[in-house]
Amino acid sequence: MFYFGADYYPEHWPEERWPEDARLMAEAGFNVVRLAEFAWSKMEPEEGRYDFGWLDRAIDVLSDHGIRVVLGTPTASPPPWLMTRSEGLFIVRQDGRRATYGNRREYCPNNPLYYGDSRHIVTEMASRYGDHPAVIAWQIDNEFGASCYCSICRASFQNWLRERYGTLDVLNAAWGTAFWSHVYTHWSQIPVPVITGRTPNPGLDLDYRRFMSDTYVRYQQQQLDILRALCPDQPITHNLMGFRYDGLNYFDLARPLDFVVWDNYPVLWFDAEADPAAVALGHDAMRGLKQQNFWVMEQQSGAGGWEAMGPMPCPGQLRLWTYQAIAHGADAIVYFRWRTARYGTEQYWHGILDHHGQPGRRYEEVKAVGAELARIGDEVLAAQSHSQVAMVLSYDSRFSLQGQPGHSDFSYPALFGSYYEALHRRNISVDIVPPSADLGAYRLVLAPALHVVGQAEADNLRTYVAGGGTLLLTARSGVKDEANAIVNMRLPGLLADICGVEVADYALLPGDTAVPLRIELPGTAESEQGGEAQLWSDVLAPTTAQTVGRYAGETYAGEPAITLNTANGGRTLYVGTIGDSALHDTVVGWLVDAADVRASAPTPAGVEATERWKDDRRLLFLMNHTAEAQTVKVPRPATELITGEQVGGELTLAPYGVAVVRGA
């Protein structure tokens, strides 16, 4: 069944209202809600005194209207009676100050007391609802993240390091603690990277980010074990925050879960408007975590904001974003939130209903989508994305570059996003994969700024290219080893032979400096080869590669900037600069032609085409992200699923309109 619904907080509203909510939900085609992920105070008002009566009744009201339930464990926001028991329960932030009560995500994720409290509430919930017929799945906690720097975390970090390095000699060597006389002679001397002035030892910095990520994986595992034992038939998930979030290694966090769900907010308070490519990247990154379809557990349904509000979605955008999620692999859509809260931090975070609870414009739009999905949901459910292109997402590289970006304007996610956007603009389906992924099935692999590289990762790329693959690498790749030390080799270090090139010299390009490039990619007209060097300039010395781009100005005028190696069985393009989006577009254009990558369909600018496959039947999603009507060519007569009409020749999409074409 295609699940469609909302995040519902019955504890915020009088019980007399619940039947009306359920009636309106059923009318909108809802068959699922998420409940309880912030309701600890209501479920355990005092330590050891549980009250699930209200939740039973809420589930009953919903079930009577054919609505099933995903239950959230409430550990993201513990009640005051719990947190006031010990100061040590509170997180210590990086400035060394302990949080106090008043928001959420304030708990220390290594605190043994908190482990105990979490175990109790989750066990109670799981025992009560483990075989409840209306409960179809569990969500653990809510949006893990937030690093803690307390003394418990410090001791736990020291143990984590002991397991990773075995001896202090190994750790001291890996981190290079001879620098500034940081040699540790006892594990207990090792600090956590609170703000001490400036950059900590990079080895310590990267390891602390890894440790915090592992901390949440471990914290999640306790709840997983309880739920698995007591609710063997209900699948378990956790709601992640897409590509935007960079505090945890999401590949690790997703591995033990049954399925991935994520929270998709195309326009937050700081966004002027939605960026369709960025949203698409969020979906693809989440599909990539387990290489399987996902749910959207919080799909934006109104303007967001805590202190200040962001843009209100325009008429048609909620529907458009819903279909965009489905187009990228969502098998369920749950909107955040059913009704806008009158109280609390999120008074301005708008849901489907406004504060007054009467149906309005957004309700009607969601209801219309509900009616459409009631017809076509089964057609799209479980359809697969088949990508010929992969992008390698390295959390080690991302973490390392958070600590030391090398250039103050350099951002790993921005570079990654810009290359992704060049693919998205061409309607090319992309899988987001970890550096260890088997790449053999892809025609083209992009691994921008693969900064931290171990031998196994380098070997994986080498094998891929040796098998005939086409690979893109860029400046700032192969720079660091797994301990975040700079390699003792010419760059790009372990990747140099794959690229057939060595970096002879490099320099940062300060501020807005943009150096023109003379690009000579084989088989492409000069007029199609735009782009400038920005932020960084490698001067390349080819070994087996040929030069296909040179700096055309400034200090390195005439020197090689881009190389192509075909001596390894495949092709490796090395771009020795970070560059601008025009450069990324040129490079991607050449790569997709060279690797013979297929696009879903040609479309005008602002119209996205994405495909999913059910066996050998193609579903082509056409999505107009602009406020004007757009016309798209449909090559063969086919069926438009939402209207059920035959289409052929041309198809007109209304502003923010959508079509799902089967068989074109």
Residue number with CB closer to ligand GAL (346 or 409):
346
| Catalytic member of 143, 457, 611, 640 | 143
- By CB under 6 A, tell whether 271 contacts ligand GAL: no
User: Please, what is the minimum distance in Å from the beta carbon of residue 261 to ligand GAL?
Assistant: 11
Report which residue type is found at 216.
Answer: Y
Maximum distance among all alpha carbons in the chain?
76
Beta pairing, strands 294-300 & 261-264: parallel
For residues 10 and 193, which CB has a smaller minimum distance to ligand GAL in the complex?
Answer: 10
Q: Which one, of 379, 370, 144, 345, lies nearest residue 262 by Cα?
A: 144
- Answer for which of 21, 44, 106, 143 binds ligand GAL (CB under 6 A) is 143
Q: Please, what is the minimum distance in Å from the beta carbon of residue 260 to ligand GAL? A: 15
Contact 263/336 with Cβ under 8 angstroms? yes
Rank residues 18 and 349 by Cβ distance to ligand GAL and give the closer one: 349
Which residues, 6+ apart, have CB-to-CB distance to 222 below 8 Å? 115, 118, 119, 122
Rank residues 142 and 411 by Cβ distance to ligand GAL and give the closer one.
142
What secondary structure letter does DSSP report for 99? P
Q: Which helix (H) or strand (E) holds 562?
A: strand 560-565
Cα dihedral value 582, 584, 590, 592, nearest 10: -130
Smallest distance, Å, CB 298 to ligand GAL? 6
State which of residues 160, 250, 259, 349 lies at the interface with ligand GAL (CB under 6 A).
Answer: 349
Closest of 502, 527, 504 to residue 582, by C-alpha: 527
| Distance in Å, CB of 269 to ligand GAL, minimum | 10
Q: Which is nearer to ligand GAL, 74 or 500 (CB)?
A: 74
532 makes contact with ligand GAL (CB under 6 A): no
Distance between alpha carbon 230 and the CA centroid of its chain, in Å?
Answer: 30
Nearer to ligand GAL, 209 or 238 (CB): 238
Q: What proportions of the chain, in percent to the nearest 5, are helix, strand and coil?
A: 35, 25, 45
Least distance CB 239 / ligand GAL (angstroms): 6
Written as six digits, the tokens of 390 are 């992969």
Catalytic residue among 37, 106, 298, 502: 298
Q: Identify whether 143 is a catalytic site residue.
A: yes
- DSSP H/E element including 333: strand 330-336
652: phi then psi, degrees, rounded to nearest 5 = -100, 130
Q: How far is the CB of 268 from ligand GAL (least distance, A)?
A: 9
Q: Token digits for 305?
A: 């904001």
Complex with ligand GAL: residue 142 or 147, whichever CB lies closer: 142
Count residues near ligand GAL (CB under 6 A). Answer: 8
The whole-angstrom separation of Cα 592 and Cα 423 is 9
Q: How far is the CB of 305 from ligand GAL (least distance, A)?
A: 8
Q: Does 18 bind ligand GAL (CB under 6 A)?
A: no
Contact 89, 83 (CB under 8 A): yes
Contacts of 149 (CB under 8 A, 6+ apart): 92, 93, 94, 96, 192, 193, 194
CB of 118 to ligand GAL, least distance (A): 18
**Nearest CB to ligand GAL, comparing residues 175 and 336:** 336
42 three-class SS: helix
From the list 346, 354, 379, 409, which residue makes contact with ligand GAL (rule: CB under 6 A)?
Answer: 346
Burial class of residue 354, CB neighbours in 10 A (0-12, 13-18, 19+): middle
298 is catalytic: yes
What x-and-dash track marks residues 294-313 binding ligand GAL by CB under 6 A?
----x-----x---------
Q: State the Cα–Cα distance between residues 178 and 201, nearest whole angstrom.
A: 11
Q: Is 521 helix (H, G, I), strand (E, B) or coil?
A: coil
Q: Which of residues 441-470 bind ligand GAL (CB under 6 A)?
A: none
336 is an interface residue for ligand GAL by CB under 6 A: yes
Please tell me whether residue 142 binds ligand GAL under the rule CB under 6 A: yes
Which of 263, 331, 421, 457 is the binder for ligand GAL (CB under 6 A)? 263
Q: How far is the CB of 335 from ligand GAL (least distance, A)?
A: 11
Helix axes 412-425, 581-594, angle to 10 degrees: 50
Nearer to ligand GAL, 11 or 346 (CB): 346
- For residue 360, the SS3 value is coil
CA dihedral 189, 190, 192, 195 (to 10 degrees): 70
Catalytically active residues, by annotation? 143, 298
Residues that bind ligand GAL (CB under 6 A): 142-143, 263, 298, 304, 336, 346, 349
